[in-house]
Amino acid sequence: MHLVYKVVTKTNMLIGSLCQVLIVYWSNYYAVLKYFLAPLIIFMVTLFMETTMQERKIHYIPLCNGKTAKIYQGAFGSGEHETTQACIKHLESMQLENKTVLDIGCGTGILGICASLLGAKDVYGYYLFYNACKTAINCNELNDITNNHIICGLQDCIKAQFDIIFANIYFDILVDISGFIKDSLKSDGQLVISGIPIEFNYDVRAHYEKKGFEVINLQLHEDFSTVKLKIAPSGLL
């Protein structure tokens, strides 16, 4: 019995010592992770992102007024896509002086930057993802733009009405937020929606017409389509 007691005691002491070693090891590991590795990782990631942004090639977009928009290539909305190009053409055809513009799903902020360079008074763009918003802010700085305001969030961040609204996004989202778009557009405002696959163009147009919009212009591209609308007189009732 005495021998069994000694064995159990020694075993408990061994287990206790092992636990203490593990606790000390984990504490030291946690301290190293917290005070050394974590800051180092954050620093390296930040440095990599900044270096990548600095080394990223710039896409130049000449505008009809002689100015040139500059957008970092590789980010969503660098100007090559047919829907982005169509939206820029619409911007160039509009009278933007003293106008307020909303860019829904702004991505790199390309449409807001073009609107600003073309004379818009104030532009507001929002997007859900932080990295895209940071890219948009970097593109603002690249163009020396101060009136293209970038908001990281959803449409509930927007509590105003605008003269012009652009939404170059997925067609199903265009349908889902059509009520918000109508509420955010001034009665005499203009709306441009794009990113609509050609096969869904009719359905999206029909949905907006039921919401009280009237089609001003329809463009069918290679794969997608762009629609310019206004609120119909009957839609104001």
Q: How far is CA 147 from its chain centroid? A: 17
Q: Which residue has the higher pLDDT, 85 or 11?
A: 85
Confidence (pTM):
0.76
For the cut 60, the answer to whether the pLDDT of residue 222 exceeds it is yes
pLDDT at 18: 55
Q: Which CATH architecture has domain 58-236?
A: 3-Layer(aba) Sandwich (3.40)
Least confident interval from 70-79, 82-91, 183-192: 70-79
What integer is the mean pLDDT of 143-147? 97
Residue among 186, 185, 191, 183 nearest 218 (CA): 191
What integer is the mean pLDDT of 25-47? 50
pLDDT at 191: 98
DSSP single-letter state for residue 177: T
pLDDT at 2: 43
Residue 28's pLDDT band (boundaries 50, 70, 90)? Answer: low
For the cut 70, the answer to whether the pLDDT of residue 50 exceeds it is no
For the cut 50, the answer to whether the pLDDT of residue 6 exceeds it is no
HSE-up of residue 184 (Cα within 13 Å, Cβ side)? 22
How far is residue 60's CA from residue 7's CA, in Å, rounded to a whole number?
Answer: 79
Sheet holding 162-168, edge to edge: 148-152, 122-127, 100-104, 162-168, 185-197, 224-231, 213-220
pLDDT at 165: 98
